[in-house]
Structure 1
Amino acid sequence: MGAQQREYRQRSRSVQSTKKITRAMELIAASRVVKARQRVAETTPYARAITRAASAVATHAHVDHPLTTKRDEQKRAGVLIITSDRGLAGAYAANVLKRSEQLRELVQDSGMEFVPYLTGRKAESYYNFRNRDYADSWSGFSDSPTFDVAQEISKRLIGEFTRGSDGAEGGVDEIHLVYTRFVNMVTQEVQVTRLLPLEVVEDAAPKTPENGFPLYEFEPDAAEVLDALLPRYITSRIWNALLQSAASELAARQRAMKSATDNAEELIKTYTRLANQARQAEITQEISEIVGGASALADAK
């Protein structure tokens, strides 16, 4: 009985130590997700505005631009997969990777080669464990991305798309983006978007004099305007996706650590109850032995 009681006490102390860790991680994630949500709120209006501008310019320019033209023969599709560097965030990374595998099947069924570009160590580990090749990867910033990283990724993807699959050094004919959109602290949704050739996402609101497209005049010409605007558009989409994914990761980690802390509290209560039961059983046994011994002495006299 004594050994069993000690075992329950040791387990309870171990769970208490784990609870302190999960509680600390929960508080850290809660404090950081506030800033991440602010960054999403600050950058989303610009992303919407440049999306609207790109839509209007591409609609009224009537110019065949390399980033807006769909190729007749498509051989390779590049996919940027945004995951996390660390775990302990529930099914956050698993959901993104699962959605990317579904996209892989769709791309391969259409007769194209799937070319992944990875962000986050979880995606790198996933591909390395399965001995799969990937074109490039970026990591070390998943919960706090910088604009320089977004520019670097954008430059690489635009270069690969401009080169095309007919080039000697690879290249792709399409660019897709798989990331997690932050809705609120409870809901985060995995999104798949085609970046190139340009798939402009227009506002679903009905057109009114207040939100309708203005008339554009291009100076010096429409081609040069598109050359300057479309790379900025792609960079802003990737930047916003990185921020959305960072906020989603922190929110998922906060929920996961909150659940772990609650489970630890339940385990502590369970082990405390079991230890008390073992202690009561030990005391009852000792009392029974004393009473039995006293009865035996009385009978002997």
Structure 2
Amino acid sequence: MGAQQREYKKRIGSAQGMKKIFKAKEMVAASRIAKAHARVLATTPYADAITRAIGAVATHSGDVAHPFLDQERSSNGRAGIVLITADRGMTGSYSHNVIRAAEELANALQEEGKTPVLYVVGRKGETYYRFRNRPPHEAWAPYHEGELPELGHEIAQRVTADLLSEDPETHLDELYLVGTRFKTRFQQVARATRLVPIEVVDADEDHGTARPTYPLYEFTPDAEQVMDELMPRYLESKLVNILLQSMASEHAATQRAMKTATDNAETQVKKFTRLANSARQAEITQEITEIVGGADALSGSGRKER
């Protein structure tokens, strides 16, 4: 019985230690959500404004042409998928959801006769594909939260070069972005979005507007040069924004996962405390039974205790 109690106490101590770790990570994640959400709110208007500006140029300049606006881009059938996953563990189903969305998109593209080309951000996504002998075309891992704007700029430069490349081995006909949209602290959605070719009506897609009204602009020196300047900024702003939204979603998923883990650890502490008390009570009952049995045996034999 004594050994059993020691084992239970050891498990109680282990569960209490894990509970402290989970609780600390939960509090850290909760404190970071607000800052991450503030960064999302700061970058979203800029990304939307760039998209509206491109829509205005394309709408009011009918003769403007740009490779990213060509809806019939088709040379080698390669479609790029930029996948944003977590760079660390203890994030619940965050990475699993976004990887599942990327796999569904890749399967849909393959059914259309296209070749998916993966650009993966985060160690979780890179590990997932390398373990299955499907190494991504390009991977950025590990990365730091404070360097997300620079990371978005680097990714935008790489995919832009591949989209404009004339080499059939590296050229991309299409580009999709798979990340997690941060709606609230309690709701995040993994979603795939096509970035290239650009559909102008996508500018206010999240706001429920079917076809936005674009303002009138005067283009200097001309619309084509304005478009050439806007397109790289468009891709970079979209990538930076979804990177920040994914980071905020990761913190929210971590908070929920750590809250569940803390509750489970508390359940384990209560369970083993109850078992330890039961074992202690059984040990006490056994000792009392042995004492009473010994006294009965002495009285039955006629001997007197000295």
TM > 0.5: yes
Deviation string for 1:76-98 (max 9, x for gaps)?
10100000111110010011111
| Runs (5+) with no aligned partner, structure 2 | none
Contact 1:121 1:139 survives alignment (8 Å): yes
- Does the residue aligned with 1:79 lie in a helix, a strand or coil? strand
Q: Is it true that 1:217 corresponds to 2:225 in the alignment?
A: no
Contact 2:91 2:250 survives alignment (8 Å): yes
- 1:202 match: 203
Instruction: Write the mapping of 1:230-269 to structure 2, written as runs, cut at 5 A.
Output: 230-269=231-270
Shift of 1:154: 0.4
- 2:42 match: 42
CA separation of 1:59/1:65 partners in 2, compared to 1, >3 Å: closer, same or farther? same
Shift of 1:146: 2.4
- Does the residue aligned with 2:178 lie in a helix, a strand or coil? strand
- 1:125 match: 127
- 1:228 match: 229
1:114 corresponds, among 113, 116, 120, to 116
- Does the residue aligned with 1:46 lie in a helix, a strand or coil? helix
Q: Quote the Cα distance in structure 2 between the aligned partners of 1:58 and 1:49.
A: 14
Shift of 1:237: 0.4
Q: After alignment, is 43-52 or 92-101 more displaced?
A: 43-52
Deviation string for 1:38-82 (max 9, x for gaps)?
101111121222221121112222212111113244511010000
Contact 2:74 2:173 survives alignment (8 Å): no
Shift of 1:140: 2.3
Contact 1:145 1:242 survives alignment (8 Å): no
* TM-score, normalised via structure 2 length: 0.93
Instruction: Write the mapping of 1:79-158 to structure 2, written as runs, cut at 5 A.
Output: 79-141=81-143, 143-158=145-160
Amino acid at match of 1:184: T
Q: Quote the Cα distance in structure 2 between the aligned partners of 1:144 and 1:242.
A: 11
Q: Quote the Cα distance in structure 1 between the aligned partners of 2:160 and 2:99.
A: 23
Instruction: Write the mapping of 1:15-30 to structure 2, written as runs, cut at 5 A.
Output: 15-30=15-30
Q: Quote the Cα distance in structure 1 between the aligned partners of 2:136 and 2:171.
A: 13
- Does the residue aligned with 1:87 lie in a helix, a strand or coil? coil
| Runs (5+) with no aligned partner, structure 1 | none
Deviation string for 1:221-255 (max 9, x for gaps)?
11000000111111100000000000000110011
Q: After alignment, is 184-193 or 211-220 more displaced?
A: 211-220
Q: Quote the Cα distance in structure 2 between the aligned partners of 1:300 and 1:146.
A: 87
Contact 2:180 2:189 survives alignment (8 Å): yes
CA RMSD in angstroms, aligned pairs only: 1.5
Contact 2:185 2:252 survives alignment (8 Å): yes
Q: Quote the Cα distance in structure 1 between the aligned partners of 2:145 and 2:249.
A: 9
- Does the residue aligned with 2:184 lie in a helix, a strand or coil? coil
Contact 2:76 2:171 survives alignment (8 Å): no
Amino acid at match of 1:79: I
Q: Quote the Cα distance in structure 1 between the aligned partners of 2:74 and 2:80.
A: 17
- 2:69 match: 68
Q: Quote the Cα distance in structure 2 between the aligned partners of 1:74 and 1:106.
A: 17
